[in-house]
Amino acid sequence: MRYFHGCYSVGDDTLWGVNRRKKGAGNTLAALKSIRAARPDGAPIYVILDNLSAHKGADIRRWAKKDKVEWCFTPTYASWANPIEAHFGPLRQFTIANSNHPNHTVQTRALHAYLRWRNANARHPDVLAAQRRECARVRSETGIRWGGRPLKAAA
């Protein structure tokens, strides 16, 4: 089992991240530091996170205050509100679906190869189609339409 700590720059349309053995504040902080390194000019950065407790540790809060990083937490069960979620479906589709990686190292290499390709071809029709499908899947799970109210269940 591995966890992908993904980072997405909305302005640059760039996706990156690292695979880790476990979730935790230390691995989250390392991923967040990679975001700050991607923007070394010292300008404030706004980071969208889910409400995982590992995202709210004292070390992370101290680091964020010192490095001008503002948190924007999504509400519980609102993954559809996080822009990075649309990129996880294509990532799974192109690196995990119908694969039989012999070990985690090979799987991680495939993941990073996809990230390099995706960032070089961000507007590729296959990537855009996979992102649309993932957005629709995530929205349908929650029964929420973009900009609208939750759908009412049929009686």
* Residues spanned by the domain of 47: 3-142
Please, what is the angle between helix 125-142 and helix 85-95, to 10°?
A: 120
In-domain check, residue 52: yes
Q: Is the pLDDT of residue 151 over 70?
A: no
Dihedral angle of Cα 146, 137, 154, 75, to the nearest 10 degrees: -60
Q: Confidence class of residue 24 from pLDDT cuts 50, 70 and 90?
A: confident
In-domain check, residue 16: yes
Tens of pLDDT, residue by residue over 100-146, are 878 888 888 888 898 998 889 877 788 778 878 887 877 776 655 55
60 with 29: CB under 8 angstroms?
yes
In-domain check, residue 41: yes
Distance of CA 9 to the CA centre of its chain: 10
In-domain check, residue 154: no
49 or 155, higher pLDDT: 49
We report the CATH number of the domain holding residue 18 as: 3.30.420.10
The count of domains in the chain is 1
Q: Cα–Cα distances in Å, from 80 out to 11, 28, 77?
A: 19, 21, 8
pTM of the model: 0.67
Tens of pLDDT, residue by residue over 26-74, are 888 888 888 888 888 888 888 888 877 777 888 888 998 998 888 888 8
